[in-house]
Amino acid sequence: MTQSLLIGVPTIRPAGRGTRVSALVGGIEAWFESDELPLQPSPEAFASAFLIPAAAEGRQLELEAPICPVWRSGAADLLPVIGGWWGYRSEVPDGVRRVAAGPALDGKTALCFSGGVDAFYSLLRYPGVDLLVAAHGFDIPRAETRRMAAFERSLREVAQALGIRAGVIRTNLREHPHFAGVSWERTHGGALAALGHLLSDSVSRLVISSSAARRDEHPWGSHWQTDPLWSSSRMAVEHFGEAVRRGDKLIEIADHPLVQQHLRVCWENANADVNCSRCEKCIRTELILAACGKHDDFPVFQPGATLARRVDDIAKVPETPLLIPYRAALQSGLDPSVARAVRALLRRSRRAQMRRRVRGLVGVLRRSLIPPRASAPAVTTASAAAPTAVTGTAASPAPASPVTATPSRSLNLVQS
């Protein structure tokens, strides 16, 4: 029998200068709070955050509070998509009918804002953003108060310069055991959508910026196919920018003074600075800027004179799709010393990828050549010869760990 992951009725209460919305999820509190933004105890927020973690655990998501039928219809369309990507088996329970989306909502628009290339591109290209919303506890852990304070200053300066509002929502979501056991790369889309549902009394549209262009798409937690499916009758979730590659976005907005002064791409939290200028993502971004002659316009990074040495310090580019901006930077033109360092990095990366492929092939060959172990013969006692009735729970399988992925089990979304 499939175990359930129960989400209790969300509650709201004062917290410091603002409010906290929380719900028990699997008996453990998950919460969101803000000093300035009007949060609502939205069941859709918690359902969005925990739908994919429940699928990864092979659990049945169960909610005590009524859920919007538009949201449930979107979840019914989303589950087969993530099942195809990651092997999560999913079923839509009987009685959940497909509900057509209502007319376009008329209200304010919030943009999930991290200060990165995708977020800045959406801010400068999406028409009519009214609110920048950031989360403390997503890519910047709650314990990183100094880094968050630096980012929050940038967030508010950007919003003030454009004459719009900004706000921060703090959360323990990534620390919750039922959420933390699944990769953030798979769960972050639902987590971002949760922010919109929490704001559904003051905002009717949430914009999530694309991470990859459609031509380079791959399974990812935030995706043009899945983000709109988190919508409800009160909150439209939109995915924006998927027609443009990130490197091209950066080139397009690199002349804007706000981008030059406030761009934040680093997620490794290597030091107290907004950008460490040492991790692969920082280096990749700096190379694009160097190739278009804009690096020295960005004081948020270390000087371009040290770029070649810092490229040499990168062991490898971790994924093949990430090689695209490096090759594009080489083609666009780099300082000779930087170009040499990039070519050496690409060679190291190709060798690392080849070693990984060889190890994978060796593993396949070993599994195919080594015969499986023979099962031990069954031992039959005299008393076992006669048929007996087995009762009780001793023969039942042990329940699954709450944070262990079990793709072979099914996921239902039901209402208590």
Could you report the per-residue pLDDT of 179-198, keeping only the tens digit for each? 999 999 999 999 999 999 99
Residue 384 pLDDT greater than 50, yes or no: no
Cα separation, 314 vs 53, in Å, equals 33
Please give the helix or strand (H or E) that residue 193 lies within, else none: helix 184-198
DSSP class of residue 23? E
Cα separation, 118 vs 188, in Å, equals 15
Give per-residue pLDDT as tens, 62-121.
999 999 999 999 999 999 999 999 999 765 433 333 434 444 456 899 999 999 999 999
pLDDT at 413: 52
Q: Which residues contact 95 (CB under 8 A, 6 or more apart)?
A: none
Bridge-based pairing state of the strands 131-136 and 165-171:
parallel
- Please identify which residue in the block is written with the tokens 């953003």: 129
Mean pLDDT of 153-177: 98
Phi, psi of 198, rounded to the nearest 5 degrees:
-65, -25
Pick the range with the lowest mean pLDDT from 215-219, 300-304, 403-407: 403-407
In this prediction, residue 411 has a pLDDT band, given cuts at 50, 70 and 90, of very low
Give pTM, 2 decimals: 0.83
Asked if 409 and 400 touch (Cβ cutoff 8 Å), the reply is yes
**Per-domain residue ranges for the chain?**
7-245, 265-356
Residue 398 pLDDT greater than 70, yes or no: no
Asked if 4 and 60 touch (Cβ cutoff 8 Å), the reply is yes
Asked if 174 and 188 touch (Cβ cutoff 8 Å), the reply is no
How far apart, in Å, are the Cα atoms of 371 and each of 360, 364, 366, 378? 19, 13, 9, 20
Residues found in the chain: 416
In this prediction, residue 406 has a pLDDT band, given cuts at 50, 70 and 90, of very low
- Greatest distance between any 2 Cα atoms in the chain: 86
Cα separation, 379 vs 125, in Å, equals 72
